[in-house]
């Protein structure tokens, strides 16, 4: 089952895409973050995607995920960088 990763704000800029489809997602969020980091990218300020992702919150089908969260059954992961001073 594929996972659609929706990227917002600085994460979108660093990835160079609004969304990424992972056809064979890893078992955990940590694995997904590693996969996105391997794909590379950087913001205009030169911040690499791995650094951006390290500051993000993640929602799986609307529920907050931690690094060890299993992705089985999750169809959408939202990548939410800190915004509005948060």
Residue 68 lies in a domain: yes
Domain that holds residue 75: 3-80
Give residue-wise pLDDT tens across range 33-66: 999 998 887 767 777 889 999 999 999 999 999 9
Q: What's this model's pTM, rounded to 2 decimal places?
A: 0.89
Domain tally, the chain = 1
Residue 85 lies in a domain: no
Residue 55 lies in a domain: yes
pLDDT above 50 (res 86):
no
Confidence band of 29 (pLDDT split at 50, 70, 90): very high
Return the CATH number at 9: 3.10.20.30
Residue 86 lies in a domain: no
Residue 8 lies in a domain: yes
Beta-carbon-side half-sphere exposure of residue 15 (alpha carbons within 13 Å): 22
DSSP E strand boundaries for 1-86: 3-7, 19-22, 57-60, 63-65, 76-80
């Amino acid at each position: 089952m594929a996972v659609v990763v929706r990227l917002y704000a600085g994460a979108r800029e660093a990835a160079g895409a609004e969304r990424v489809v992972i056809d064979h997602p890893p078992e955990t969020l940590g694995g997904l973050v590693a996969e996105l980091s391997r794909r590379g990218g950087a913001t205009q300020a030169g911040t690499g995607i791995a650094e951006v992702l390290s500051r993000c919150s993640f929602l799986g089908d609307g529920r907050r995920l931690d690094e060890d969260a299993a992705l089985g059954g999750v169809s959408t992961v939202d990548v939410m960088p800190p915004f509005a001073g948060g």
